């Protein structure tokens, strides 16, 4: 063991260019995130976040995040059939 504070693991930092290029490997080729992540030595969740951001960026401005959050659920519930409609 080293001196105090020397045992802390440093987090890897990736350039924006590397992140975009890694994400495009998935988006452009259709290869699974798991395969590309393994080849690049990245975690699947990390690469998955980059891919999500790249897809959102490539869809252009004005496109909302399509994650299944509360606003999506509220809109879906509000537009669905009512129980009284099913009788």
Please give the tally of structural domains in the chain.
Answer: 1
The residue ranking higher by pLDDT, 50 or 8, is 50
CB atoms near residue 63 (< 10 Å): 11
50 burial level (CB within 10 Å; 0-12, 13-18, 19+): buried
Identify the band that residue 2 occupies on the pLDDT scale cut at 50, 70 and 90. Answer: low
Q: How far apart are CA 17 and CA 34, in angstroms?
A: 20
Residue 33 lies in a domain: yes
Residue 49 lies in a domain: yes
Residue 74 lies in a domain: no
* Residue 25, domain extent: 13-61
Q: pLDDT (tens digit, 9 = 90+) per residue, 24-55?
A: 999 999 999 999 999 999 999 999 999 999 99
Residue 77 lies in a domain: no
What is the per-residue pLDDT for 84? 55
Residue 4 lies in a domain: no
Predicted TM-score (pTM) of this structure: 0.59
What is the per-residue pLDDT for 58? 87
Residue 32 lies in a domain: yes
Q: What torsion do the CA atoms of 73, 32, 35, 18 make, to the nearest 10 degrees?
A: -80
The residue ranking higher by pLDDT, 13 or 68, is 13
For residue 87, the surrounding DSSP H or E stretch is none
Residue 48 lies in a domain: yes
The Cβ-side half-sphere exposure at 38, using a 13 Å CA radius, reads 5
């Amino acid at each position: 063991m080293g001196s105090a504070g020397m045992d802390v693991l440093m987090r890897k930092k990736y350039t924006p260019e590397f992140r975009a290029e890694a994400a495009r490997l998935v988006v452009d080729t259709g290869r699974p995130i798991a395969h590309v992540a393994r080849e690049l030595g990245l975690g699947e969740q990390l690469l998955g976040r980059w891919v999500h951001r790249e897809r959102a960026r490539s869809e252009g401005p004005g496109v909302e995040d399509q994650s299944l959050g509360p606003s999506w659920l509220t809109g879906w519930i509000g537009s669905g059939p009512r129980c009284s409609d099913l009788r």
